[in-house]
Amino acid sequence: MNLKLIFLGPPGAGKGTLADMFEERKGWKHLSTGDLLREEIKKKSELGLKAKEYMDKGLLVPDELVVELLKNHLDASKGFILDGFPRNLRQAQILEEERIEVDLAINFKVSAETIISRLSGRRICSRCGRIYHLINIPPKKEGICDECGGPLYQREDDKEEVIRKRLEVYEKEIAEVLKFYKERNKLKEISAEGQAEEIYKRIEKVIVDYGQERENTG
């Protein structure tokens, strides 16, 4: 079964890590809009240059541009996981308008305290963007990416006050997105507390239940 999923949750909920695990084990493509944008900018593609113009002015990249970017990388026949999109109601509406169908939106529920403790241990590969955690998913060699050998770094905005502010903004915007998918019977919630492997099992259960539901309704 190739599913089309959206992972919703605050920064630090573990969406990226889990999406990577599903990509590895099920082959569903992990599409992080942040990573895709950085890739396009690096390649200096037409889309990347357009996006960079906005970012250089300190503006948000327009939703339409982000959706265009997603479409370039989407292969619905193989399944995918959207990570970091949609972030607000308008973006959810655009996905629907563009007929980018999704099976389920999975909401990662997690406490602010857990998020803060997780983010302070987070390290990111500066070459391929892979995410590690000093405790949960440590690299084999300290400070070095297992995948590509690139150096790992800690993001500036993984600091407590910044995290709390980001959470506030997130909660406000995501409420409408949750409502949007709930109304369409696509919203599932999971606890994102604990280790990545435990969270993986919870999501897997949601997916199995969904598969059975789908079979039963034909």
Among 49, 55, 76, 128, the residue binding Zn ion under the rule CB under 5 A is 128
Report if residue 141 touches Zn ion, rule: CB under 5 A: no
The residue range among 78-86, 123-131, 171-179, 196-204 that interacts with Zn ion, by the rule CB under 5 A, is 123-131
State yes or no: residue 175 binds Zn ion (CB under 5 A).
Answer: no
Query: Does residue 1 belong to the site contacting Zn ion (CB under 5 A)?
Result: no
**What DSSP character marks residue 59?**
P
Q: Between 121 and 150, name the residue whose CB sits nearer to Zn ion.
A: 150
Token pair belonging to 25: 């084990």
Is 99 a known active-site residue? no
176 binds Zn ion, rule: CB under 5 A: no
**Distance in Å, CB of 134 to Zn ion, minimum:** 16
**31 three-class SS:** strand
Least Å distance, CB 147 to Zn ion, is: 4
Which residue stretch of 39-47, 82-90, 149-157, 166-174 sits at the interface with Zn ion (rule: CB under 5 A)?
A: 149-157
Burial code of 182-212, b = ≥16 C-beta within 10 A, e = fewer? Answer: eeeebbbbbebbeebeebbebbeebbeebee
Q: What are the two backbone dihedrals, phi and then psi, of residue 157, each rounded to the nearest 5 degrees?
A: -85, 15
Residue (76 or 148) nearer to Zn ion, CB = 148
Q: Indicate the burial class of 82 (C-beta count within 10 angstroms; 0-12, 13-18, 19 or more).
A: buried
What ranges in the chain are assigned the alpha helix state H?
15-26, 33-43, 46-56, 63-73, 89-97, 112-119, 160-183, 196-216
- Within 46-88, where are the H helices? 46-56, 63-73
Asked if 145 touches Zn ion (CB under 5 A), the answer is yes
Does residue 39 touch Zn ion according to CB under 5 A? no
Tokens read off for 47: 């889309």
* 109/127 with CB nearer Zn ion: 127
Report the first-to-last Cα separation within the chain, whole angstroms.
15
Q: Is 164 a catalytic residue?
A: no
Nearest distance from C-beta of residue 20 to Zn ion, angstroms: 12
Residues that bind Zn ion (CB under 5 A): 125, 127-128, 130, 145, 147-148, 150
Active site residues: 15, 87, 122, 155, 166
